[in-house]
Structure 1
């Protein structure tokens, strides 16, 4: 990671007890605007698996068939339930898809075992601070923001502010690399 956009100093431990698995599209690995590295630095219980197909994830050590039972997928779409209103006590493992919205949807499409899991979406997410990449709408969050919000719902006493601070630091450092006259495009 280039020192101009390293956010290690902004990261601090978040002792989550809920297990989080991030399935990351291969094109996101090492992406300077990616937020999964923040989760890897901050969260006590997170695993990141790169891939796109069932074979990719199996080779990376993730098998959705063995993850069924107490697992759920956080990804909006048809058939997803509202996270904030659901009974989530039986869910101890959350699966998150990381990539552009199109690439994340492709991961879901190519992995039927993921589509068979209980699926949830965020009804009332906070405003995103992640202004450096395009999202389909204002209610969409970067992966780290979505995981922080998820953890706030399932572990209400958990302090996820280190994740938010690191995301803001990443945005600030990215914007510092862009000429000021272009900042209006990132609001």
Structure 2
């Protein structure tokens, strides 16, 4: 990660009530476009596990984190329910996948135990402000945006603006290093499979 894309100085604490467990694809680690580090810097209750296979997550204690706790998976599945539904009120902590759409789906495919968790999606997600890369589809969000909107719905008393402000600083710093010939109108040329891309939630 380029030192000039560090956003530590603008990260303010967000005292989230629900713990967030992020399963991050290895290709996203240390990438200057990634927003998980915003969550790590701001949230008081967050765990980040890096991997792809069940063995890698097991070694990092995923089973322990899931035991005895009602965990919801934020990922649009065939049987997923809207976060806006009453069912989300029964969730104690949230599991979020971080990676491109294809790589996040691969994590889910390789870890069938995750499908045993109740799945949730956003019925009406906000527009993304992650201008580094154009979203391949409407409704896709960065991981930081997804978690911020999740808390807006499930714990409205929590101020999520620090997450969005830190992401905005990250975007502005990152775009400052992008050559003009790699930019479209106000961001880099879209590529849905490069790290830092957006994902449906």
> Does the CA contact (< 8 Å) of 2:148 and 2:160 recur in 1?
yes
Aligned residue in 2 for 1:29: 29
Quote the Cα distance in structure 1 between the aligned partners of 2:144 and 2:15. Answer: 15
**Take 1:170 and 1:55, find their aligned partners in 2: how far apart are those partners?**
32
Match of 1:4 in 2: 4
Corresponding residue for 1:145?
Answer: 145
Give SS of 1:88's match: helix
Name the structure 2 match of 1:71: 71
Residue 126 and residue 57 in structure 1: after superposition, are their counterparts in 2 closer, same or farther (change >3 A)? same
For 1:184, the equivalent position in structure 2 comes to 185
Task: Evaluate the alpha carbon distance shift between residue 26 and residue 92 of structure 1 in structure 2; reply closer, same or farther with a 3 A threshold.
Answer: same
Superposed CA deviations along residues 152-175 of structure 1, whole A, max 9, x for unmatched, are: 111011100000001111111111
Deviation of the 1:31 alpha carbon: 1.0
Unpaired stretches in structure 2, ≥5 consecutive residues: 189-201
Question: Secondary structure in 2 aligned to 1:114?
Answer: helix
> What is the total number of aligned residue pairs between the two structures?
187
Name 1:82's counterpart in structure 2: 82
Determine the C-alpha separation between the residues in 2 that align with 1:184 and 1:19.
37
On the 8 A contact 2:69/2:92 being kept in 1, the answer is no
Give the match for residue 111 of structure 1.
Answer: 111
User: TM-score w.r.t. structure 2 length?
Assistant: 0.87
Structural RMSD (CA): 1.8
**2:20 and 2:94 in contact (8 A); partners too:** yes
In structure 2, the residue matched to 1:123 is 123
TM-score by length of 1: 0.93
1:100 aligned residue: 100
- Gaps of at least 5 residues in structure 1 are none
Report the Cα offset of residue 66 of structure 1: 4.1
* Cα shift readout 1:50-89 (whole Å, capped 9, x = no counterpart): 1101111001121289446511100113111111123322
Does the residue aligned with 2:153 lie in a helix, a strand or coil? Answer: helix
Structure 2 residue aligned with 1:157? 157
